[in-house]
Chains A and B, each alone.
Chain A
Amino acid sequence: MEILVCVKRVPDTWENEIEINRDGADIKREDMVYSVNEWDNYAVEEAIRIRERVGGSVTVVSVGDKESEEVLRREMAMGANKGILARDEAFKGCDGRGIAAILKAVVEKGSYDLVLTGVQSDSGAAQVSGMLAAMLDWPFASIVNQIEVMGERTLKVGREIAGGNQEMNEITLPCVLSIQTGINEPRYVGIRRIRKMAEVEIPEYGASDLGLSAESVGESSVRVKVKDYFVPMLGEGAEMLKGSQEDVVEKLIELLKSKGGIKS
């Protein structure tokens, strides 16, 4: 099976406390630790496991700048056969729809049976995979936490739904799936393996390689744009307890008891 996995280099929300810069135009990016989007890493692991079972190859693609190569190399060290970087000045400032349009062009340049993405990334929109599927007119399933290859052209997939339940579906190939964390346990990638990938050439596709006009994907096509960032205001009904740790604990217990939260 020929599998394409879409990956993104994102600020690591586990390693960094996200702060906003002075004018609110962006988050503070100095000294930020970046890594592969967590969901995407599970998607790559899943693709590798499918290849191990049924054969084929795994390609990882990222739309981004030169630095995105680092996550492609990491995922290749994990076991992906090939990496592709979609990079062009014209791609800058794209919204989700623009990214999906670029990925559609990448998909059409190859010959893939299955496209995987993470459920969501740093913007938390969970949008690119569903848009990509609709643009390709391929069937789609989101929040996938189980994949079984049933035959040449069919997968059985489990979707995570409310209450911890799982919705089972049969889906025909080619299709697009967005992968949920916990679907597998991504393998450890040693630094030596990553170093080995340092010299591997990663092909770059620009707008003209992909047959995309600047108007169709660039800033002018953008319909959704971030205006600014801000920290949520402290809501009404919140009370900050101040004082030494002992005082705070005592006040908290008193409050919880008086409001019936805990029994004495």
Chain B
Amino acid sequence: MSRQMFSYILHKDGVVDDTALEMVTAAKKLDPESSNTAIVMGAGEGLDSVCREAACFYSEVWKIDNEALFYPNAEMVRMLLGRIIPRGAIVLMPHEHFGMDLGPGLSIKLDSAYLADVVDLEGMEGAFLNVVRQEYNGQVNTRVACDISAGVVITLRPGSFEADEPEAALGLVVDESSEALEGVTPEVRRRFLGVVEAEIGDVDITKADVLVSVGRGIENKDNLSIIFDLAKAMGGEVSCSRPIVDSNWLEKSRQVGTSGQTVKPKVYMWRWGLVDRFNTWEVLRGIPS
């Protein structure tokens, strides 16, 4: 196959996100022969250390450094990627709040296919890439075939591709800032204003050893006392899924999942039921079996 692959690297406070290594694993599974270039966008002092860290496990790192990228604005990032990524390439990124903002539109700008929230890669069959996704709130898995002859943007579910011990790659950091930004007026149609931090609740579920998690199956607010009694008996805390917070039955700080907290308890108890499976696997990523 041998086509160019790119991985969009998330980073925060000068540190590369765990998903950067997961994308190395995924890229190898996709095609061990293809080159895989890390793209690091940002601004300021921490950016070089992010690039150096990424170069430890990517053979090439493209750095795009500009003040306007201090906080990643998907509108801006999408436009810049559209300028530097060659047509027909495979582009990987994590399926989280930034990837969801960036990916679908990027596939249109690159005129490539789009595969969202992929949990496994099964390999090529002619021009088609076979992948595994989940549908219906994670109730069923589905095998999807995607014609990638014109390239593809793939968002990978965080935690689905186990990060290998990084091989010392001693990758090359290339400054692509001028290629990406020359003649560009920074995007003004969407402007980042700031982040409102979540209120800290009376419990910190990220520190609990035992969590009893409640979802929609509890049916009504009065039934929550059963879960609190159980958690107390087990010496743990109560956590919950998004619908419980949406209904204002419990505070946001108890919510687990992509938009809530990632927790690492020793015991996580929940009803393996009709719903919430997606969230549950998402929550439990990184917990040693």
The residues of A with any CB-CB pair to B shorter than 8 Å are 11, 13-14, 16-18, 20, 27, 96-97, 100, 119, 122-131, 133-135, 139-143, 156, 158-172, 175, 180-182, 223-232, 237, 256, 259-263
Q: Does B167 contact A (CB under 8 A)?
A: no
Least Cβ–Cβ distance between B289 and chain A, in angstroms = 5
Given the interface pairs A159-B97, A182-B245, the reply to whether A231 lies near B141 with Cβ below 8 Å is yes
Q: Known contacts A140-B75, A163-B261; is A18 also within 8 Å of B136 by CB?
A: yes
A131 touches B108 (CB 8 A): yes
Q: How far is the CB of A31 from chain B (nearest CB, A)?
A: 16
B117 to chain A, nearest CB (A): 6
CB pairs A–B below 8 angstroms (17 shown): A124-B135, A126-B116, A127-B104, A127-B116, A130-B101, A134-B104, A134-B107, A134-B108, A139-B189, A142-B101, A160-B97, A164-B255, A168-B195, A182-B245, A227-B130, A227-B145, A262-B234
Instruction: Verify A262–B235 contact, CB threshold 8 A.
Output: yes
Alpha-carbon gap, A131 to B133, bound state (A):
19
Cβ contact within 8 Å between A127 and B195:
no
> Does chain A have a CB within 8 A of B198?
yes
Mostly helix, strand, loop or mixed at chain A's interface? mixed
Q: B residues touching A (Cβ–Cβ < 8 Å)?
A: 73-75, 78, 96-97, 100-109, 113-117, 130, 133-148, 150, 187-198, 209-210, 216, 234-236, 242-243, 245-246, 252-253, 255, 258-262, 266-267, 274-275, 278, 289
Contact B242–A162 (Cβ < 8 Å): no
Measured in the bound complex, the distance between the Cα atoms of B97 and A163 in whole Å is 11
Q: Are B274 and A226 in contact (CB under 8 A)?
A: no
A165 to chain B, nearest CB (A): 5
Q: Which residue of A lies closest to B253 (CB)?
A: A164
CA distance A217 to B188 in the complex (A): 32
Among the listed A161, A167, A227, A263, which residue makes an inter-chain contact with B144, where contact means beta carbons less than 8 Å apart? A227
